[in-house]
Chains A and B, each alone.
Chain A
């Protein structure tokens, strides 16, 4: 194949194994690597927090880099609150509330946001639903009113629901063509079993089962001020924003909100492979990993450091190995994800068919090395400096700061999380990182989802005993030929 041609010894010997220096000249070259100066102070503006009588928490912070504002109402119910046979209910509800209120039509809502320099979005995720808008800060008060109207008094029109269902059905069909989507859905499903975090997307059946009454009930039960917080970040006056929020949300009535039906994820034993047969695949799309910890776990800092060393940064062991040394893949990465009730670790990459087995071997080799040795010295110091350095970069913008603060309130992190994150990263010891690696990486007990063409890779996967075959709909199938 192509790859073999490139490995041709003729090609290799034709090029002398010496570096080609493309030097224009060395004149004036600064050979000394410059030292880095002392760290400059980094301080976020104070946050103003107020809880309205109906229980809505309002959090405001001023950030004036540009004359804009981010306004996000977060309702603390998401996919996890979907009934098991109605996956996508939270998501479809979030879509439908934007399609009309008592005083504005769907298009008028869009047009009003547009004319204030923004757009309105509402989207559900695992633990929460966010209704957010971003626009010019001179329109901040009107934008708050718009968010309040959509959240509190949507009309939930049948006609608009029909359009949305059609859009969603087509999206569900399209998703099945995406190997990365299939890998993640399969991985998450096997990892979390009957826990709600197993469900990452709606299905044709769940969409067809939804009607206006179910959406209206979801809205009535979950969209309540005592189950929400409002976060405002931008070039605004905090006191004026609090007053505007009181006016806009003051009449919103409290309610008893049901808790999500969390169940224990299944215990993992062994390396469980789920192979999704996708004929014509020229790569294997891999997602593998295990259950880790929830976002508010005190070990988050050491786990994050272990992941940064392993595959959470561009300069990480797995990128050096399977990309920069072996050229197996363009985009290897690992991520530690924490939700409200649980979390997981996941490595993902797309590799050409003929290195599928070799990639898995290297991934587990590096995992086992992390578990056995951890990380210390300059490598660990570098990972700490990376996390310390990117924190101010991430929070330097209004949207970045809003994202960080959103995590604080969704997951109940300490209020001083943004102020203490960097010091806590610095304080992690090598022993803690090594301990974290055993928590973070399941290794012998892992879920391995592979989306690819079985005939092209089967000989490389002989080392795995527990393999389940699935089609793109997620149904179990016999071993393909």
Chain B
């Protein structure tokens, strides 16, 4: 739980689909906006005396300052370093000592902060979130302390690890061309160290405005209670104008890109490759969402079977949208469909891609069966339900937050499965033909380079 981190602590929504019974299950949603622009979502759930309080800000690492790689994530750490009425690390102490857990994480397009608390501590958690939204307070010592902590985080998760997070941190830097999508978002250590209090103030003033955020409360409470408390604690935070959003569009890729990297720490090779995805919530997006479990995200999937069972050239295969950093829904910009294959040391990356292309070509030529599609829909539905429960109910709050922030429609949580249900086998075949092609692909072949032997 102490991963103030990327990816590793997150909710991965696998593929799914509906179409079977049990469909009556729906998530209660109440949605309002305060006069200062803060979005508020409430979802009642009285299964346990537990409540989740989450604030998600629409600022992620994608659009962090150009000379300050890793700054959005460093800033996330600073949000635990004190505000006007809460001292350094007191946020953590107060939450733990009242029976709760907490975390924060930085993603492509947002940063989230949350507490999972006994429901009698609801107002306390809301007060804590409001105080830092209103009055973050950072000293030079605390900034320095977290620069050190984050540098250690980058070392432990990237620089001192075999493979160096190449599939989720490295691949976007190679596949994309627009700086916003293609920089080192965990941060160069020198950039992290260069950050100063002016950077902190500017970033906070620019992006941590109520109109750039959503407050979600889910669990053992009522909409009336939450709305009253939201007014009381967040209503007085003044509105601020938001800057125009930069152009994060990614020009279409027209030719395959392949890279080879030496790895001083790894002992066996691995291949990562990714395809640029269609826009979120489009017809092709839903089709590929259902293809994913049939292609890679399950041990029954075609790639898993082909690489591990039939050809016996790999020891592990995995993949997904927003891989390692989120799920199919919690981003809002150019995104990759990423795969990682740990393969046999006597082979090379192209040997793996040959098998991959054979599997994908078969789908492009013959499509998938009705039975496969039906099963994918059942499985996605099940995974979707699972994701709502993850983290003691955090998954439900986090998805509602993303849907409020990016779609202005948290009720979308109850219609996503319906959209997936409309997908046909022809849609899947069409989307595979259009997107899963070599010209739309970037790969990194990560080879052992001595040191780990």
- Which positions in A face B, CB cutoff 8 Å? 2-3, 5-6, 12, 15-31, 33-42, 63-68, 106-107, 110-111, 113-119, 134-138, 163, 166-167, 170-171, 173-174, 176-179, 279-283, 285, 313-315, 319-320, 323-331, 333, 350-352, 378, 381-383, 385-386, 388-390, 392-400
Asked if B155 and A389 sit within 8 Å, CB to CB, the answer is no
Query: How close is B16's CB to chain A, nearest CB, in angstroms?
Result: 8
Asked if B117 and A282 sit within 8 Å, CB to CB, the answer is no
Complex contacts, A179 vs chain B, CB 8 Å = 160-161
Interface string of B69-113 (1 = CB under 8 A from A): 000000000000010110011001111111111100000000000
Can you list 8 A-B contacts (CB < 8 A)? A2-B151, A20-B197, A22-B205, A24-B240, A107-B300, A138-B22, A283-B160, A397-B393
Task: Using A29-B134, A40-B220, A327-B152 as known contacts, say yes or no to A19 and B96 having CB atoms under 8 A apart.
Answer: no
Tell me, yes or no, whether B118 is within 8 Å of chain A by CB. yes
Complex contacts, A37 vs chain B, CB 8 Å = 120-121
Of A15, A38, A106, the most chain B CB neighbours within 10 A belong to: A15
Instruction: List CB contacts (< 8 Å) of B124-167 with chain A.
Output: 124, 127, 130-131, 134-141, 144-153, 155-156, 159-162
Asked if B238 and A315 sit within 8 Å, CB to CB, the answer is no
Asked if B344 and A36 sit within 8 Å, CB to CB, the answer is no
Asked if B265 and A280 sit within 8 Å, CB to CB, the answer is yes
The residue of chain A having its C-beta at the shortest distance from the C-beta of B81 within the complex is A324
Tell me, yes or no, whether B318 is within 8 Å of chain A by CB. no
Complex contacts, A329 vs chain B, CB 8 Å = 149, 152, 156
Asked if A394 and B344 sit within 8 Å, CB to CB, the answer is no
CA distance A352 to B147 in the complex (A): 13
CA distance A179 to B383 in the complex (A): 32
The residue of chain B having its C-beta at the shortest distance from the C-beta of A34 within the complex is B123
Given contact pairs A17-B141, A30-B232, A393-B118, a sample of 19 additional A-B residue pairs in the complex whose CB atoms are under 8 Å apart: A3-B148, A18-B139, A20-B137, A20-B200, A21-B137, A36-B120, A42-B48, A65-B45, A106-B309, A163-B308, A163-B309, A167-B315, A171-B315, A176-B452, A315-B89, A327-B147, A350-B152, A382-B97, A386-B97
Asked if B88 and A324 sit within 8 Å, CB to CB, the answer is yes
Asked if B22 and A67 sit within 8 Å, CB to CB, the answer is yes
Complex contacts, B100 vs chain A, CB 8 Å = 386, 389-390, 393
Tell me, yes or no, whether B388 is within 8 Å of chain A by CB. yes
Asked if B162 and A29 sit within 8 Å, CB to CB, the answer is no
Task: Using A28-B237, A170-B344 as known contacts, say yes or no to A177 and B266 having CB atoms under 8 A apart.
Answer: yes
Question: Which of B283-291, B354-362, B373-381 makes up part of the contact surface?
Answer: B373-381
Query: How close is B407's CB to chain A, nearest CB, in angstroms?
Result: 23
Complex contacts, B48 vs chain A, CB 8 Å = 42, 392-393, 395-396
Complex contacts, B141 vs chain A, CB 8 Å = 17
Residue in contact with A115 in the complex, picked from B102, B162, B378, CB distance below 8 Å: B378
The residue of chain A having its C-beta at the shortest distance from the C-beta of B140 within the complex is A15
Asked if A68 and B382 sit within 8 Å, CB to CB, the answer is yes
Asked if A327 and B298 sit within 8 Å, CB to CB, the answer is no
Query: How close is A376's CB to chain B, nearest CB, in angstroms?
Result: 14
Tell me, yes or no, whether B316 is within 8 Å of chain A by CB. yes
CA distance A63 to B152 in the complex (A): 41
CA distance A176 to B452 in the complex (A): 8
Cβ-closest 10 pairs across A and B: A389-B99, A28-B236, A117-B382, A327-B148, A382-B97, A110-B300, A396-B48, A315-B96, A40-B49, A330-B153
CA distance A283 to B235 in the complex (A): 46
Complex contacts, A382 vs chain B, CB 8 Å = 93, 96-97
The residue of chain B having its C-beta at the shortest distance from the C-beta of A329 within the complex is B152
The residue of chain A having its C-beta at the shortest distance from the C-beta of B96 within the complex is A315
Query: How close is B242's CB to chain A, nearest CB, in angstroms?
Result: 14
Residue in contact with A170 in the complex, picked from B135, B315, B382, CB distance below 8 Å: B315
Tell me, yes or no, whether B204 is within 8 Å of chain A by CB. yes
Query: How close is A56's CB to chain B, nearest CB, in angstroms?
Result: 27
Asked if A136 and B193 sit within 8 Å, CB to CB, the answer is no
CA distance A159 to B156 in the complex (A): 39
Asked if A115 and B379 sit within 8 Å, CB to CB, the answer is yes
Asked if B149 and A281 sit within 8 Å, CB to CB, the answer is no
Residue in contact with B235 in the complex, picked from A20, A28, A115, CB distance below 8 Å: A28
Tell me, yes or no, whether B409 is within 8 Å of chain A by CB. no
Asked if A397 and B389 sit within 8 Å, CB to CB, the answer is yes
Query: How close is A433's CB to chain B, nearest CB, in angstroms?
Result: 16
CA distance A377 to B383 in the complex (A): 44
Asked if A331 and B21 sit within 8 Å, CB to CB, the answer is no
Task: Using A6-B147, A20-B201, A39-B118 as known contacts, say yes or no to A386 and B96 having CB atoms under 8 A apart.
Answer: yes
Complex contacts, A323 vs chain B, CB 8 Å = 149
Asked if A42 and B153 sit within 8 Å, CB to CB, the answer is no
CA distance A386 to B118 in the complex (A): 10
Asked if A111 and B193 sit within 8 Å, CB to CB, the answer is no
Residue in contact with B136 in the complex, picked from A22, A33, A119, A389, CB distance below 8 Å: A22
Task: Using A279-B451, A350-B155 as known contacts, say yes or no to A24 and B134 having CB atoms under 8 A apart.
Answer: yes
Complex contacts, A174 vs chain B, CB 8 Å = 162, 266-268, 342
Asked if A111 and B1 sit within 8 Å, CB to CB, the answer is no
Asked if B2 and A40 sit within 8 Å, CB to CB, the answer is no
Asked if B268 and A350 sit within 8 Å, CB to CB, the answer is no
Asked if A22 and B382 sit within 8 Å, CB to CB, the answer is no
The residue of chain A having its C-beta at the shortest distance from the C-beta of B102 within the complex is A314
Residue in contact with A324 in the complex, picked from B89, B127, B379, B388, CB distance below 8 Å: B89
Asked if A22 and B156 sit within 8 Å, CB to CB, the answer is no
Query: How close is B73's CB to chain A, nearest CB, in angstroms?
Result: 12
Of A115, A116, A176, A281, the most chain B CB neighbours within 10 A belong to: A115
Query: How close is A11's CB to chain B, nearest CB, in angstroms?
Result: 8
Asked if A314 and B265 sit within 8 Å, CB to CB, the answer is no
Asked if A24 and B152 sit within 8 Å, CB to CB, the answer is no
Complex contacts, B174 vs chain A, CB 8 Å = none
Complex contacts, A26 vs chain B, CB 8 Å = 84, 134-135
Tell me, yes or no, whether B312 is within 8 Å of chain A by CB. yes
Query: How close is B217's CB to chain A, nearest CB, in angstroms?
Result: 14
Asked if B375 and A115 sit within 8 Å, CB to CB, the answer is yes
Asked if A327 and B138 sit within 8 Å, CB to CB, the answer is no
The residue of chain A having its C-beta at the shortest distance from the C-beta of B163 within the complex is A177
Tell me, yes or no, whether B433 is within 8 Å of chain A by CB. no
Complex contacts, B400 vs chain A, CB 8 Å = none
The residue of chain B having its C-beta at the shortest distance from the C-beta of A135 within the complex is B382
Tell me, yes or no, whether B264 is within 8 Å of chain A by CB. yes
Task: Using A110-B299, A282-B159, A330-B156 as known contacts, say yes or no to A22 and B389 having CB atoms under 8 A apart.
Answer: no
Tell me, yes or no, whether B305 is within 8 Å of chain A by CB. yes
Asked if B392 and A33 sit within 8 Å, CB to CB, the answer is no
Complex contacts, B196 vs chain A, CB 8 Å = 15
Tell me, yes or no, whether B282 is within 8 Å of chain A by CB. no
Query: How close is B448's CB to chain A, nearest CB, in angstroms?
Result: 9
Complex contacts, A283 vs chain B, CB 8 Å = 152, 155-156, 160
Complex contacts, B146 vs chain A, CB 8 Å = 327
Task: Using A6-B147, A22-B204, A327-B152 as known contacts, say yes or no to A66 and B135 having CB atoms under 8 A apart.
Answer: no
Query: How close is B221's CB to chain A, nearest CB, in angstroms?
Result: 10
Query: How close is A5's CB to chain B, nearest CB, in angstroms?
Result: 7
CA distance A320 to B155 in the complex (A): 20
The residue of chain A having its C-beta at the shortest distance from the C-beta of B15 within the complex is A114
Asked if B127 and A30 sit within 8 Å, CB to CB, the answer is yes
Tell me, yes or no, whether B426 is within 8 Å of chain A by CB. no
Query: How close is B309's CB to chain A, nearest CB, in angstroms?
Result: 6
Complex contacts, A17 vs chain B, CB 8 Å = 139-141
Interface string of B263-288 (1 = CB under 8 A from A): 01111100000000000000000000
Residue in contact with A6 in the complex, picked from B92, B161, B193, CB distance below 8 Å: B193
CA distance A114 to B375 in the complex (A): 7
Of B89, B99, B149, B315, the most chain A CB neighbours within 10 A belong to: B99
Complex contacts, B388 vs chain A, CB 8 Å = 66
Complex contacts, B392 vs chain A, CB 8 Å = 393-394, 396-397, 400
Complex contacts, A31 vs chain B, CB 8 Å = 85
CA distance A117 to B101 in the complex (A): 30
The residue of chain A having its C-beta at the shortest distance from the C-beta of B143 within the complex is A15
Complex contacts, A40 vs chain B, CB 8 Å = 49, 118-120, 220
The residue of chain A having its C-beta at the shortest distance from the C-beta of B126 within the complex is A34
Residue in contact with B138 in the complex, picked from A22, A385, A386, CB distance below 8 Å: A22
Complex contacts, B89 vs chain A, CB 8 Å = 315, 320, 324
